[in-house]
Structure 1
Amino acid sequence: MADKKRTGLSALADAGNNDAGDFSVIDAIGGPRGVVESMLPGVVFVVLFVATSNLNLTIAVSAVLAIVQVLVRLIQRQSVMGAVSGLIAVGICLVWAWQTHEARNYYIFGFITNAAYAVLLTVSLIARVPGLGLVVEFIRSLPTEQFKAWFADWMNDKSLKRAYMIITGLWTGLFVLRLLVQVPLYVTNHVAALGVTRLLMGIPFWALAIWVSYLIIATPMHRHKALARKDNNNDAS
């Protein structure tokens, strides 16, 4: 049985094990199906609302679509974690729009999450403990014990830490850029433009960020892993 391909930051955690030609951005963002499932609710929401101006109909169709995606995965006995998390996020957005009777409020949850990520990553940069490094290293080698040794292992590798600082800054810039572009469209109530911009700055920007991050961290991570293996072999002998 083939190993399940890891996605998102989990794919970056394997960066040191892959050659540049082995890394697939499409796989890292969930494959073609994952891309479609991620974008479809947003596409349906903005298209249907622009076409009908009927918020209740738009919310109902979008909700049914999100539920159907989860049910299809259940029927096919596939992993539903990603679909369920997407369903919860879409559900929050739809409830927000329904309760306020404003279509533009469908996008507020995205603003909140982008702002939260931007703040957390900025704090990590100021503290000189790169947030993306923490997440990737946590995924790569879960520190069930000897946390200090785990932390020092990658933080004391200057080239690896530098790479993590760079990609943390990159992702911070991505979240901030989304807010700078999209919030003015929200304030001026340009729902269609906001929806299209949200889609363009969603999966495409995420794919670009993952690819650039891989290019930045792959070499220092590979060197770090090779050095660790060498040290382990020396200890064993």
Structure 2
Amino acid sequence: MSERHDGPRSATNGNGANGARKRSGLASLADEDFSVIDAIGGPRGVVESILPGVVFVVLFVATRDLHMTVMVSAAVAAVQVIVRLIQRQSVFGALTGVMAVAICLVWAWFSHDARNYYLPGFLVNTFWIVVLGVSLIARVPGIGVLVEFVRNPATDHLGDWLRAWRDDGPLLKAYMMVTGIWIAVFALRLGVQVPMYLTNHVGWLGTARLIMGVPMFAAAIWISWLIIATPLHRHRIAEERNS
């Protein structure tokens, strides 16, 4: 993967106002003070997400030396974590990215095929299409489950927890719509990138992965927030009145 935004995430990133932890990924939709920049991990998070992928595609296209490309990309990812350790900053996000990149690099290395650097991303996107699709059929939208679990983790009485937000018609409709949007995002990635993989256009595949990574994720999560924000805010007000 050339970016870390292949699927939902629930990490935190840095400190917000009053020391509050800032969530990133789709979990940030649960925040009242939603920020696209925070959702994608901030400027540094964006750089850390895309840099190994940029190095991989540029170096491979320029040299066609897979082993050197893998080693340099791995070194770049490792340096990012080391720098955070030296600066005594949180390394959770960077470590997550390194693990994702490591899987892709190992796959490419042992298969002796640069295209396979991108294969794990296809599997991740397929997984989320299936999971979110099933959740829509069951009318328990996956994005709603994620957001509500972040807001109010269900430790017991799962049925009551589900009814608490599923009985809110406008909120359920918003979660269903947003879940459908994310299915479309993952399906579009596959529809564009798999043909490039099959025809061995590594340069174009890497470029498409970068464009359809962080930029598409940012656009999709912003649209998701626009759809969810009002019904979720009203739901919060109703919760406060009933508490």
Task: Indicate the residue corresponding to 2:92 in structure 1.
Answer: 81
Question: d(CA) in 2 for partners of 1:155 and 1:194?
Answer: 40
Equivalent in the alignment of 1:115: 126
Aligned partner letter, 2:24: T
Letter in 2 for 1:137: E
Equivalent position to 1:151, from 148, 153, 162: 162
CA offsets 1:26-59 (integer angstroms, 9 cap, x no match): 1211000000000001000000001111111000
User: Of residues 170, 189, 200 in structure 2, which corresponds to 1:189?
Assistant: 200
Partner of 2:14: none
Aligned equivalents of 1:191 and 1:231: distance in 2?
56
The residue aligned with 2:189 is 178
How far the C-alpha of 1:24 sits from its partner, in A, is 2.1
Aligned to 2:219: 208
**RMSD (Å) for aligned C-alpha atoms:** 1.0
Q: Which has the higher contact order (CA 8 A, sep 6+)?
A: 1
C-alpha deviation, 1:66, in angstroms: 0.8
Task: Report the alpha carbon displacement of residue 230 of structure 1 after superposing the two structures with TM.
Answer: 0.7
Post-superposition offset of 1:10: 2.1
In 2: Cα distance, 1:231 partner to 1:127 partner: 28
**TM-score with structure 2 setting the length:** 0.91
1:5 is paired with a residue whose SS is: strand
Higher helix proportion, which one?
1
Q: CA deviation at 1:2?
A: 3.2
Of structures 1 and 2, the larger Rg is shown by 1
TM-score calculated relative to the size of structure 1: 0.93
Matched residue, 1:13: 30
Which AA in structure 2 matches 1:77?
A: R
C-alpha separation in 2, matches of 1:174 and 1:44: 25
| Aligned position for 1:132 | 143
Write the letter of the residue equivalent to 2:28. A
Alpha-carbon deviations, 1:161-206, whole Å to 9, x = none? 0000000000000000000000000000000000000000000010
C-alpha separation between the residues in 2 aligned to 1:140 and 1:3?
A: 14
Residue type at the aligned position of 2:84: R
Q: Match for residue 228 of structure 2?
A: 217
Pair 1:90 & 2:96 matched: no
What runs of 5+ residues in structure 2 fail to find an aligned partner? 1-17
1:4 Cα shift?
2.9
Count of aligned pairs: 226
**AA partner of residue 46 (structure 2):** V
Point out the more displaced range, 178-187 or 147-156: 147-156
Secondary structure of the residue aligned to 1:189 is coil
Are positions 1:34 and 2:45 aligned together?
yes
Structure 1 gaps, min length 5: 233-237
Q: Distance in 1 between matches of 2:168 and 2:124?
A: 31
